[in-house]
Structure 1
Amino acid sequence: MSTDSGLSLDDSVRAMVLLMPRLIGRAKRLPVPAALRSFDLAPRHLSMLTYVLFDGPLTVNELARRLEVAPTTVSLMVADLSRQGVVERRTDDNDRRRTLVAIADSHRKAIEAWLGNADHGWRTALAPLTPDQRALVIATLRAYEEAVSDH
């Protein structure tokens, strides 16, 4: 395993060009649990489900802020997944005016088994880093996303 320290910019780009397809390929090979295959889940659904899984029930506005999309987009996703029984809307016990989005109990185990691996992988990779180093990794990946989406 290479430590990749002291690489030139060109060598760093080559390393990332090799690494990114591997990361994406591994993520795509995560099998969708049988209990969820019929739901036609898109990547945007997975991001939303991951937030709800890791952080517990959240409001549509909070999900929209985290996903960096409009609340109407999240409302549509929630409506779609709610109709299919994957998520449910619950009244917030602390503020009855608020509605929270939660993973339906009937699908929680399958979603935990499926998306929990991403949590473990990222925690393993990021844990040895300092908070500043973690912020740099995230900023770098965001900058890459912006750069390739501009072209």
Structure 2
Amino acid sequence: MRTSEADLERMSLSRLLAVAGHLVAMHWQRLMGGYGLTPHGLAVLASLERGSALTQRELARRCGVAPSTLNHTVDHLERSGWIERRRDVADRRLVRLALTETGRRQLRQAQDAAGREMEPMLDHLPPADERIVRDFLLATVERFQSEDDALAGPAGAGTERL
């Protein structure tokens, strides 16, 4: 059931942001599914592209999820040949995850598709307003992450970063 425009107009800003976020997330999920990825899978590939090989704990922190949440995603990405597990040369107890060349190509295809299919969905935003919306969203993400960090306490600080 669609929400009427009048209902949307009456919603609080926080609820409207949640509704918009949910709708955008559903579109991302459908689009990434066509590439054998979930939004978490895309985040893993993108995180590994930006840095050196990471442990699953480091990767989870960058993706904003608990390490156990990534188990299924990491297994799927490894079976697909998009990432690989490597023993750390300095500390053999650590296993690091790294992007493969195939994973790099898969990431590029998914990012290209996002550029073609997701970015045009925002064409209703006047270019002059983009900086305002971006600043608002960045500040909102930071505020909610800070709140999560404060609730988690020192042991959990920083574990829910995007």
TM-superposed CA distance for 1:79, in Å, is 3.0
TM-superposed CA distance for 1:11, in Å, is 6.1
Superposition RMSD in Å: 4.4
Equivalent-residue separation in structure 2 for 1:28 and 1:64 (angstroms): 19
Counterparts in 2 of 1:138 and 1:85: CA distance versus 1, 3 Å:
same
Equivalent-residue separation in structure 2 for 1:126 and 1:115 (angstroms): 24
**Which amino acid is the alignment partner of residue 69 of structure 1?**
A
Percentage identity across paired residues of the two chains:
23
Equivalences for 1:74-113 in 2 at 5 Å? 74-92=70-88, 95=90, 97=92, 98-113=94-109
Equivalent-residue separation in structure 2 for 1:56 and 1:125 (angstroms): 31
Q: TM-score, normalised by structure 2?
A: 0.50
TM-superposed CA distance for 1:47, in Å, is 2.8
TM-superposed CA distance for 1:43, in Å, is 3.4
Q: Residue in 2 aligned with 1:134? A: 138
Structure 2: any 5+ residue segments left out of the alignment? 1-9, 120-129, 148-162
Secondary structure of the 1:30 match is helix
Q: Does the 8 Å CA contact 1:50/1:115 hold for their aligned counterparts?
A: no
Equivalences for 1:115-130 in 2 at 5 Å? 115=111, 117=114, 129=135
Counterparts in 2 of 1:142 and 1:30: CA distance versus 1, 3 Å:
farther
Structure 1: any 5+ residue segments left out of the alignment? 1-8, 144-151
TM-superposed CA distance for 1:100, in Å, is 1.7
TM-superposed CA distance for 1:82, in Å, is 1.5
Counterparts in 2 of 1:80 and 1:73: CA distance versus 1, 3 Å:
same
Equivalent-residue separation in structure 2 for 1:75 and 1:14 (angstroms): 31
Equivalent-residue separation in structure 2 for 1:114 and 1:84 (angstroms): 15
Q: How many residues align structurally?
A: 125
Q: Which has the higher contact order (CA 8 A, sep 6+)?
A: 2
**Which amino acid is the alignment partner of residue 68 of structure 1?**
V
Secondary structure of the 1:89 match is strand
Q: Does the 8 Å CA contact 2:85/2:97 hold for their aligned counterparts?
A: yes
Q: Does the 8 Å CA contact 1:32/1:114 hold for their aligned counterparts?
A: no
Counterparts in 2 of 1:92 and 1:80: CA distance versus 1, 3 Å:
same
TM-superposed CA distance for 1:87, in Å, is 0.9
Q: TM-score, normalised by structure 1?
A: 0.52
Secondary structure of the 2:50 match is helix
